[in-house]
A and B are shown apart, each in its own frame.
Chain A
Amino acid sequence: MISGSLTAVEIAAGVRSGSLSALAVAEAAIGRANAANPRINAFTTLTPERALAEARAVDRSVAEGRDPGPLAGAPYAVKNLFDLAGVVTLAGSKINRDDPAAPADATIVGRLKQAGAVCLGAVNMGEYAYDFTTENTHYGATRNPRDLTRSAGGSSGGSAAVVAAGIVPFALGTDTNGSIRVPSSFCGIWGLKPTYGRLPRTGAFLFVESLDHVGPLAGSVADLAITYNAMQGPDPADPVCSARAAEPVPSDFEDGNGSLRCAKLGGYFASSASPEALDAVDRVAAALGATSAAELPTPGLARSAAYLITAAEGGHRHLSRLRARAADFDPGTRDRFIAGALTPAAWLLHAQKFRASWREAVRAVFANADILIAPATPVSATEIGQEMMAPGGVSLPVKAHMGIFTQPISFIGLPVIAAPVHTPGRMPIGVQLIAAPWREAALFRAARILERTGVCAAPAAPLP
């Protein structure tokens, strides 16, 4: 029996040294998936044949003295909008079931395979990623492994759930307005939304081209780093992917926070948060020696602009499906997609121009800080079916407002690590560490400090 609490780094070290068999690791992970899935409803497609074949190939490399890769034998799962060769890419929808199977892996899945990782299958998400709670009408709600009555967050809810349940050490998700950071916060694990354009999106079923990011969710900072490193590098097939060379971050930082200047975001980011979210921010800020506070100008307008771009581009992406099969959409997304497809051009263009001007305004804030600290979600995991929440006292619809703190940040593509803060007897909640574009390395330094000092952690949830 191989424990679910082994990290990807530990598994790879064992497999590379020959002390651990990738096949045994894969078999154990498949066993955990089969045992846990009925409770959390995370996997929509298990790919045990693929996992076993990839594991055997890794073991063969080790036996033959070839380099099996830095992630040798590490099992993972992907949000079901990533192409897996031979599997239909559902993107959380019923409609896509009629699509042919993907002919090839998504670029980052291929890179993980190259690095020796072992893919266990595809996991649940909100339909076409237009969601913050993974309450999917077609495939059911994904349940939070730390409290099965609660949501795993969304839209990458399945990805967060399989990590928090200890089935796999890491998983892939996407983030347009918060879809990696919200489920990371709900499930109490680490999540990385890199700089817009850092990781290639080829082979991912996109939602909003202008705002879509891909990234890893993991149980440790080292795993977040090693998987992030394995996926970097230019990809001409994705016009948004940067041509800059890979900038790998060290998987461990032991040199303290050095000269990192950290500041807590105030104003908008403090006024609408629950006491538990503000407490988590304070604990992270204290651990990072954040002495100053910063404010972003008009984050509410940034959120509005992100909302309009999301509606217009998302609606347009699905126009042909809305024409032919509107009735087959999830009722939770359908009317928003149709309305988005009808967006007046001036709204979209104004929002896009505002994006460029807001980027400049926020750039000035980074003149005085390397890391900005803000809540990831206004509250911790809400209950499945919960409609209203009252962070900071004002009663608000859950689904429309769970991204209030994440949406303005992804709007201008800033890199973010969602750092999990656990408190005994309470649900965990995430804190955003936000850096200037392309400064992921600073985020990892801060995250490692938080992990080493015990302020943040992502222990696997003991499933009942």
Chain B
Amino acid sequence: MPRINSPDVVSQVTQLHDAYEKALVANDVAALGAFFWDSPDVVRFGVNEQLYGAEALAEYRRTSAVVFTERRMVRRSVLALGEDVASVTSEYEQKVFGQPRHNRQSQVWVRFPEAGWKVVSAHVSNALVGPPQTASWEGYADQVAAALRLPLAAAHRTGVAQNLQRAAAIAAPLLAVDLPSTSEIAPVFVP
């Protein structure tokens, strides 16, 4: 059984993870690349890409500089397993084109005799913020479609719920804008 959460290992990996985050936000491509294991076996899953091997990672960094706005870490857990292996999982609030996204990141760090601590495997994903899950939107769609006498085929139900969920996420920041009580919709009707 490896020693769990050796304070020294947790501290080292936490500092490295802070430095990685800093490089990420600054889009310091050279620094970012150096955090990863230089091996054909390194793996990184992005929100929309699956990168296998150091070359694929480097190519991605070269062509796809990721720009984050208002990115803020909201939770992190560092788990050290023995002296040479650690996992870091963290959550962020950030915006993509003005739309809030909840970002999740998982990394496996390994200490190599010469290269030192490197990320050998990583995965990030985004979730929409706030709205209920698709399952509830399916219920909503069923009810409203019935009220509108709109037959909702089983084959279309999930896609419709996904679209409603997406629209809910888009509506959320807009609904947060306070408009004066005197504002009207643009008039078209002329009596």
Contacts and interface: CB of A to CB of B under 8 A. Distances in A.
B177 A301 contact: yes
B185 A394 contact: no
A272 B164 contact: no
Interface stretch (A336-344, A366-374, A435-443): A336-344
A339 B163 contact: yes
A26 interface: no
A272 B66 CA distance: 10
Given A301-B177, A304-B174, A395 B64 contact: yes
Interface in B110-161: 140-141, 144-145, 148-153, 156, 159-161
Interface stretch (B5-13, B37-45, B46-54, B71-79): B46-54
Interface residues of A, number: 51
B114 to A, nearest CB: 32
A395 B144 CA distance: 34
A323 B179 contact: no
Contact of A240 (B171, B174, B188): B188
Nearest to B149: A323
Given A334-B156, A342-B141, A353 B184 contact: yes
A386 interface: no
Interface string A261-274: 00000001001100
Contact of A394 (B66, B160, B164, B189): B66
Nearest to B159: A335
B175 interface: yes
B174 A351 contact: yes
Interface in B15-52: 27, 46-49
A91 interface: no
A336 B179 contact: no
Is chain A's binding surface mostly helix, strand, loop or mixed?
Answer: helix
B164 A342 contact: yes
A342 B144 contact: yes
Residue of B96, B149, B152, B163 with highest tally of chain A CB at under 10 A: B163
Binding site secondary structure of chain B? loop
Interface string A386-397: 001010111110
A275 B174 CA distance: 30
A268 B98 contact: yes
A401 B97 contact: yes
B186 A390 contact: no
B186 A341 contact: no
A210 B186 contact: yes
A347 B179 contact: no
A356 interface: yes
B46 A327 contact: no
Nearest to B47: A395
Interface stretch (A107-115, A145-153, A176-184, A305-313): A305-313
B67 interface: yes
Interface string A407-435: 00000000000000000000000000000
A346 interface: yes
Contacts of A343: 167
Contacts of B1: none
Nearest to A336: B163
Nearest to B152: A338
B179 A354 contact: yes
Contacts of B174: 301, 304-305, 308, 347, 350-351, 354
Nearest to B145: A342
Contacts of B58: none
Contact of A356 (B27, B46, B48, B186): B186
Interface string A15-55: 00000000000000000000000000000000000000000
A102 interface: no
A349 interface: yes
Contacts of A356: 183-186
Interface in A257-303: 268, 271-272, 298-301, 303
Contacts of A308: 167, 170-171, 174
B185 A349 contact: yes
A43 to B, nearest CB: 31
B162 interface: yes
A277 to B, nearest CB: 15
Contact of A338 (B49, B63, B99, B156): B156
A454 interface: no
A341 B156 contact: no
Nearest to B171: A347
Contacts of B150: 319, 322-323, 338, 341-342
A461 interface: no
A3 interface: no
A356 B163 CA distance: 26
A350 to B, nearest CB: 6
Contacts of B152: 338
Nearest to B140: A342
B4 interface: no
Contact of B175 (A342, A347, A394): A347
Contacts of B170: 304, 307-308
A323 B188 contact: no
A323 B97 contact: no
A96 B50 CA distance: 42
A211 to B, nearest CB: 11
In the A-B complex, list the 9 residue pairs whose CB atoms are closest, starting with the nearest.
A300-B98, A335-B159, A339-B163, A352-B185, A393-B65, A395-B48, A353-B183, A342-B144, A347-B171
29 contacts: A240-B188, A268-B98, A300-B173, A304-B99, A304-B171, A304-B173, A307-B170, A308-B171, A319-B150, A322-B150, A326-B153, A335-B156, A338-B141, A339-B163, A342-B140, A342-B150, A342-B164, A346-B175, A347-B175, A349-B185, A350-B174, A351-B174, A352-B186, A353-B179, A354-B174, A354-B179, A356-B186, A357-B179, A394-B66
